[in-house]
Structure 1
Amino acid sequence: MSKITRQGSNPILSSSVEYHNFVYLAGMTADDLSQDITGQTRQVLAKIDAALEANGTDNTRLLQTQIWLKDIRDRDAMNKVWVEWLGDAGRPVRACVEANMADPRHLVEIMVTACR
């Protein structure tokens, strides 16, 4: 049976799961909720960078992304930060939708799947 590696586990979820060189990250949100969509997006992407690195990969190996925005009108501002972060890396498949957040101060949540 193939090994499943979990990191950052608690009774509800793991922050990441690796299986057969695929890395699944939980949805990431900002820590400083006083920031606007640009600031929160930068925070989330920095957390994703750290989580990917901890799993032996990076944002050049993204396969799929799901993005939830509190207000879909923030999409352009979020996309500006997103495009800068991706650089010349390959683009993952992606969904971006408006959603009610667990904490109304959260403006963005991003979940990614990558490979090693």
Structure 2
Amino acid sequence: MSKITRQGSNAILSGSVEYHNFVYLAGMTADDLSLDITGQTKQVLAKITAALESNGTDTTRLLSAQIWLKDIRDREAMNKCWVEWLGDAGRPARACVEANMADPRHLVEIMITACR
């Protein structure tokens, strides 16, 4: 049976799960909810970078991304941060939608799947 590795687990979820060299990250949100969409997006992307690195991968190995925005009108500002963060790395398959957030102060949540 193949090994499943989980990191950052609690009673509800794991921060990441690795299986057969695929890395699944939980949806990530900003810690500082006083920030605007640009600040929250940059904070989320930094958390994703750290989570990818702790799982032995990086932004060049992204497969898919799901992005939830509290207000879809923030898409342009979020995309500016996204493009800067990706640099010349390959682009993942991606969805970006408006959603009611668990905490109304959350402006963006991003979930990533990558490979090692």
Return the offset for 1:74: 0.1
Residue type at the aligned position of 1:106 = H
Gapped regions of structure 1 (runs ≥ 5) = none
Residue of structure 1 equivalent to 2:91: 91
Return the offset for 1:53: 0.3
Q: Distance in 1 between matches of 2:72 and 2:61?
A: 26
Q: Distance in 2 between matches of 1:4 and 1:80?
A: 35
Identity of aligned residues (%): 89
- Alignment deviations for residues 11-67 of structure 1 (CA, whole Å, 9 cap, x no partner): 100000000000000000000000000000000000000000000000110000000
Query: Which secondary structure does the structure 1 equivalent of 2:97 belong to?
Result: strand
Q: Distance in 1 between matches of 2:70 and 2:60?
A: 27
Q: Distance in 2 between matches of 1:33 and 1:5?
A: 30
Residue of structure 1 equivalent to 2:22: 22
Residue of structure 1 equivalent to 2:73: 73
The TM-score with structure 2 as length reference comes to: 1.00
RMSD (Å) for aligned C-alpha atoms: 0.3
Between the two proteins, the alignment pairs up a number of residues equal to: 116
Query: Which secondary structure does the structure 2 equivalent of 1:6 belong to?
Result: strand
Residue of structure 2 equivalent to 1:53: 53
